[in-house]
Amino acid sequence: MVDKTSVAAEIAEPERRKVFRKMFRQLGAATVITMFGKAVLDSSPARAASVLRPPGALPEPEFNAACIRCGLCVEACPYDILHLASWSDPAPTGTPYFVGRTDPCRMCPDIPCARACPTGALSPLLTDIKKADMGVAVLVGHETCLNYKGLTCSICVRVCPIIGEAISLKPIKNERGVLQIPTVDSSKCTGCGTCEKHCVLSEAAIRVLPRELGLGVEGAQSVGRW
């Protein structure tokens, strides 16, 4: 008499092996695709902000998660300064940003862009536009800035919407005499971009950058080297 169970087992075994093989193959494919996808997403530009966000934007990683790329802020801006990033822009696709040199934020007192945001990616808690933190102005062109050459251009100081607080002229003495240096108070500057917009040089000597890029971040590297 033939043992039925053993025959059944013999037939079943390769079947089961096939199923397992298929399962492993699918698992393998899923792992590879996940790793690949994550690499692609992580390599997308601006994991740390390299563009200026509208006022009230959460810190970049949270902003990236919270913003649903709807463009309501873009449409709410009466000066039409905001854009949603396309693939080639240095920000994750679909997120809003502006370029100070082309079109700075006019610091509307009622902050319509943040009011329009449905997700809180632009924080509803921001009620005073002077407390906005879109970035910070940094005078980078110490050799090109006209005030450093002894002239009194001072355009960047005169156009600042919070003149005298965010940016002011500080005298320094050198061999050419007394120079009036545009000096930014990083705790008051909102990063609106107006100063950069109006710098008379063909490439601005004062740049408005996201805070981490403009000021650096403390404590990221150990002090000294081994």
Contacts to ligand SF4 by CB under 6 A: 54-55, 67-73, 77, 79, 81-82, 96, 105-108, 111-113, 116-117, 119, 121-122, 137, 160, 162, 166-167, 184, 189-195, 208
Task: Please give the C-alpha separations between residue 165 and each of 49, 148, 177, 189, 218, in angstroms, as whole numbers.
Answer: 25, 21, 25, 8, 24
Among ligand SF4, other proteins, none, partner that 30 touches (CB below 5 to 8 angstroms by kind): other proteins
Instruction: Report helix, strand or coil for 179.
Output: strand
Among ligand SF4, other proteins, none, partner that 172 touches (CB below 5 to 8 angstroms by kind): none
**How far is 100 from 95, CA to CA, in rounded Å?**
16
Main-chain dihedrals φ then ψ at residue 216, nearest 5 degrees: 80, 170
Least separation in angstroms between residue 221's CB and ligand SF4 is 27
Which of 52, 121, 132, 157 is in the footprint of other proteins by CB under 8 A? 121
Least separation in angstroms between residue 147's CB and other proteins is 39
Least separation in angstroms between residue 165's CB and ligand SF4 is 8
Binding residues vs other proteins (CB under 8 A):
30, 33-34, 37-38, 41-42, 44, 61-62, 64-72, 75-76, 84, 86-88, 92-94, 116-121
